[in-house]
């Protein structure tokens, strides 16, 4: 969007003084500008993209710039899509949220009999983190079946299900496998058929090695010894339900729009996803957790962090405002930056 059109859009929306808002956003995005790993920034107000812009580079080696259609690895921002898949299957009558995880994945130990899908959605299942079960000599990337095998051989848990909160990538990997069992299709095909295609998120996919190529792909980097080194993948980058989706801010604008009505999820499903089911503990901010969403005051949000990527989506549903920042670098953490970018757009 050209600057003049952007300014006109902002002024027409009546939300902010346009020049000040743009200057504020550009100032806060300075670290992402230039010949460095970059970011894509989206501000949506009342369904209109007021700011959609790329900063820096998606690929340092090829000097490819970040644009609004650059695909980033979403990391844990993917969890809201896995949760939505479970809710869609519940709407279809293919499962219930009170099903035992062991009903769907019987190889899990008997100690998981009372762990429900509902508890996995809200990180209250108490399952052991699969990252802590990786053998020290592991060199090949883990897939979801590897995670299932490790958890099936681990009868211990952190706490009785439903009694506490502990963020769990293990739980969301298992939820992705449940989607496959209940739907009869692969997780990537289910997400494509039931979420991405209906919403015309045409450049979004759950990445699986040796399958579809990621379009306009951003590669992840970490700053080491004063230099940016490509750190795009690690041992846990091939699991799916906990963080395997690639998308861009143009497509995520369509996802955001669908969260205001029942074109995808019913009113009851959206209420369940956005309700504060448990207080978040052990993390450096105050929040509750829904199903794939953190809840803080008037905001629904989630961050995503993996080697070489830092992302966040923050929604103010009552004000119909959303800010999304996707970045292909290990620093800075974008959550507080997004809150500052949002300030001029919020009604006083």
Please list the pLDDT of the chain residue by residue as tens digits (348 residues).
444 444 445 444 444 466 788 789 989 999 999 999 999 999 999 999 999 999 999 999 999 999 999 999 999 999 999 999 999 999 999 999 999 999 999 999 999 999 999 999 999 999 999 999 999 999 999 999 999 999 999 999 999 999 999 999 999 999 999 999 999 999 999 999 999 999 999 999 999 986 779 999 999 999 998 899 999 999 999 999 999 999 999 999 999 999 999 999 999 999 999 999 999 999 988 999 999 999 999 999 999 999 999 999 999 999 999 999 999 999 999 999 999 999 999 976
Q: Which residues contact 14 (CB under 8 A, 6 or more apart)?
A: none
pLDDT at 169: 98
How far is the C-alpha of 105 from the C-alpha of 123, rounded, in Å? Answer: 18
pLDDT of residue 45: 94
The whole-number pLDDT of residue 47 equals: 94
**Six-digit token string for 64:** 């490819």
Model pLDDT, residue 119:
98
Cα 309 to Cα 326: distance, rounded to the nearest angstrom? 8
Tell me which residue of 347, 345, 348 sits closest to 17, measured CA to CA: 345
Q: Would you state the pLDDT for residue 22? A: 77
Question: What local confidence, expressed as pLDDT, does residue 18 receive?
Answer: 62
Which CATH number covers residue 30?
Answer: 3.40.710.10
**pLDDT value at position 348?**
60
Structure tokens at 280: 């978040």
Sorted by sequence, the CB contacts under 8 Å of residue 321 that are 6+ apart come out as: 43, 44, 45, 315, 342, 345, 346
End-to-end CA distance of the chain: 27
The total number of structural domains in the chain stands at 1
Query: What pLDDT is stored for residue 15 in this prediction?
Result: 44
- Quick check: 60 and 78 in contact, CB under 8 A? no
Beta strand segments in 231-306, E: 245-247, 278-279, 288-289, 294-296, 299-306
Nearest residue to 44 via CA among 3, 13, 77, 11: 13
How many other β-carbons are positioned within 10 Å of the β-carbon of residue 13? Answer: 15
What's the pLDDT score for residue 23? 84
Quote the domain boundaries for residue 136: 3-345
**Distance from C-alpha of 41 to C-alpha of 327, rounded to nearest angstrom:** 9
- pLDDT value at residue 147: 97
76 as an active site residue: the answer is yes
pLDDT at position 87 is 98
**Of residues 9, 52, 76, 247, which has the active-site annotation?**
76
Widest CA span in the chain: 63
Which pLDDT score is estimated for 13? 47
Give residue 7's pLDDT. Answer: 45
């Amino acid at each position: 969007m050209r600057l003049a059109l952007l300014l006109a859009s902002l002024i027409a929306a009546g939300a902010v003084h346009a020049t000040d808002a743009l200057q504020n956003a550009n100032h806060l995005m300075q670290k992402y500008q230039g010949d460095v790993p970059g970011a894509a920034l989206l501000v949506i107000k009342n369904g209109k993209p007021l700011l959609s812009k790329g900063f820096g580079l998606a690929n340092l080696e090829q000097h490819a710039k970040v644009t609004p259609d650059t695909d980033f690895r979403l990391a844990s921002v993917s969890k809201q899509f896995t949760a939505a898949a479970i809710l869609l299957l519940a709407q279809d009558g293919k499962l219930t949220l009170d099903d035992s995880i062991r009903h769907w994945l019987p190889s899990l130990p008997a100690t998981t009999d009372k762990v429900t899908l509902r508890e996995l959605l809200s990180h209250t299942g108490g399952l052991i983190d699969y990252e802590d079960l990786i053998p020290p000599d592991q060199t090949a990337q883990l897939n979801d079946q590897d995670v299932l095998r490790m958890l099936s051989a681990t009868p211990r848990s952190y706490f009785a299900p439903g009694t506490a909160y502990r963020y769990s990538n293990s739980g969301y990997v298992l939820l992705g496998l449940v989607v496959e069992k209940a739907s009869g299709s692969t997780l990537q095909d289910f997400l494509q058929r039931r979420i991405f295609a209906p919403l015309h998120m045409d450049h979004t996919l759950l990445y699986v090695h040796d399958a579809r190529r990621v379009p306009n792909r951003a590669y992840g980097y970490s700053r080491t010894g004063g230099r940016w080194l490509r750190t795009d993948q690690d041992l846990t980058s091939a699991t799916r339900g906990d963080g395997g989706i690639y998308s861009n801010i143009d497509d995520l604008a369509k996802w955001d729009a669908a969260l205001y009505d029942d074109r995808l999820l019913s009113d009851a499903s959206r209420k369940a996803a956005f309700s504060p089911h448990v207080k978040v503990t052990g993390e450096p901010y105050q929040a509750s957790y829904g199903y794939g969403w953190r809840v803080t005051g008037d905001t629904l949000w989630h961050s995503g962090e993996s080697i070489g990527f830092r992302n966040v989506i923050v929604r103010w549903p009552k004000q119909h405002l959303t800010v999304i920042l996707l970045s292909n670098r290990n620093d800075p953490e974008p959550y507080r930056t997004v809150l500052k970018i949002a300030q001029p757009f919020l009604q006083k």
